[in-house]
Amino acid sequence: MNLKKLRKLIFSLHRYLGLALGLIIVVIGLTGSLLIFKQTSNQFQVEQQFGKITPQEQTISLATAVETVQAAYAEQSAFKISDVESTLPELYPPYYVRLEKPDHKMLEVLVNPYTGAIIGTRENGDKIGQFVVDLHSRLLAGKFGYALVGIIACLMVILSITGVLLWPGWRNLLAGFKIKWNAHPKRLNFDIHKVAGIVTGLFLILLAITGINWNLSDFSNAIVYSLTFTSQPPTVASILLPDKQPLSPGDLLRKAEAVLPDAQITYVIFPHNIPQDTLNVRKKYPQEPGQYGSSWIELDQYTGKVLRVIDGRQSAGATWWAYGGAEILHYGTFWGLPTRILYFFVGLAPLTLFITGFVMWQHRRKP
């Protein structure tokens, strides 16, 4: 196949993938831009509803906060603690202790991290933010949508790579970045498409690949471990002991706090009525990028034995990717606010590319 035929094939693949997936990718891109500032938006909602938290010198432990919530709901034994979140200390947010209700819905209890007082509750937490998350990650279509978005992310990689290959700047670098604002609308449309595509193309590829890491994690992690010539860490599980009940959430958290003690607990997932489940704890060192950090701990729910420790300061390669690295790259939190703003605009690029690409297709269809 000569170069001309290859380019024509690439062009056709790029065109029809863009037309077929364009609107869905636009939705994913726009919702992704909104999610860049999800934490800030959620904090604003909390302050509007419950007021600002006055910072003090010391915070209470998450274990204490969890026990406070347990005591407050002691008469409602059907309520189970599902997860706990503590992030973005510079905004002075509350601790979020989430309870699973008997109907499997969630009650979010907000605890003042300095006084330990319960400041309020929210049914199902940040409803707006969760709606955007569900639309972004699964198109509101449950497990099927989750897998579908993963497949679309794979196709988006192909779409972005073919766009980069078709960029006219490979023949003339300066012309590839030039927009003739006073040109004919057809030429102006093409210039906007080519410049927007090349400026955001590599970022869109990165976003698609890191998105695959969530929606198709088994597939993605297997490839990453293979490419880095490392073996995947074995699965760990709690060992069910006869006549022994799981440790209380507070006791489990205290044991977790003692591991990597200089790191802050940012997120905790408690065992969910499955004997083999472990306590999953995420921690963040001050020097680690990202909102949640990339240090992880897993504990046996019956004995509190430490089953796995991932130190984010020392992890690299496939381990870093699987335990937080892909998330940091996906959300653009590795350089703080500047990269978050950059990613916000990258999320808007699919809308520009789809509109200009559709106009180009329409022009080609005209006799």
Tokens of 355: 């509109």
191, part of any domain: yes
Rounded to whole angstroms, how far apart are CA atoms 45 and 225? 40
Rounded to whole angstroms, how far apart are CA atoms 231 and 212? 20
Rounded to whole angstroms, how far apart are CA atoms 344 and 37? 9
CA distances from 77 to 114, 247, 271, 279, 306 (A): 27, 16, 16, 20, 28
pLDDT on residue 334 = 84
Which residues, 6 or more positions from 197, have their beta carbon under 8 angstroms from its beta carbon?
Answer: 163, 164, 167, 349, 353
Question: Each residue of 144-156: b (16+ CB within 10 Å) or e?
Answer: ebbeebbebbbeb
pLDDT on residue 103 = 83
pLDDT on residue 87 = 73
167, part of any domain: yes
Rounded to whole angstroms, how far apart are CA atoms 109 and 98? 6
Which residues, 6 or more positions from 182, have their beta carbon under 8 angstroms from its beta carbon?
Answer: none
Give all strands (DSSP E) within 162-270, no chain letters: 264-269
pLDDT on residue 366 = 67
Place of tokens 């569900």: 134
**Cβ(318)–Cβ(308) below 8 Å:** no
Range of the domain at 354: 1-36+139-215+335-367
158, part of any domain: yes
8, part of any domain: yes
206, part of any domain: yes
**Cβ(265)–Cβ(86) below 8 Å:** yes
pLDDT on residue 1 = 66
**Cβ(100)–Cβ(106) below 8 Å:** yes
| Closest to 313 measured CA to CA, from 333, 290, 335, 285 | 285
Q: What is the chain's length? A: 367
Q: How many domains does the chain have?
A: 1
26, part of any domain: yes
311, part of any domain: no
Helix 185-215 / helix 337-365 crossing angle, nearest 10 deg: 130
What are residue 267's DSSP bridge partners? 85, 282
Angle at the Cα of 238 from the Cα atoms of 232 and 243, rounded to 5 degrees:
165
The mean pLDDT values, 10 residues at a time, for the chain of 367 residues are 88 96 98 93 93 91 95 87 82 90 89 96 93 97 96 97 96 94 95 97 96 90 88 91 91 96 95 91 89 93 96 89 90 88 96 97 79
DSSP letter for each residue of 321-333: IIIIIHHHHHHT-
256, part of any domain: no
pLDDT on residue 300 = 97
Whether this prediction's pTM lies above 0.75 is answered by yes
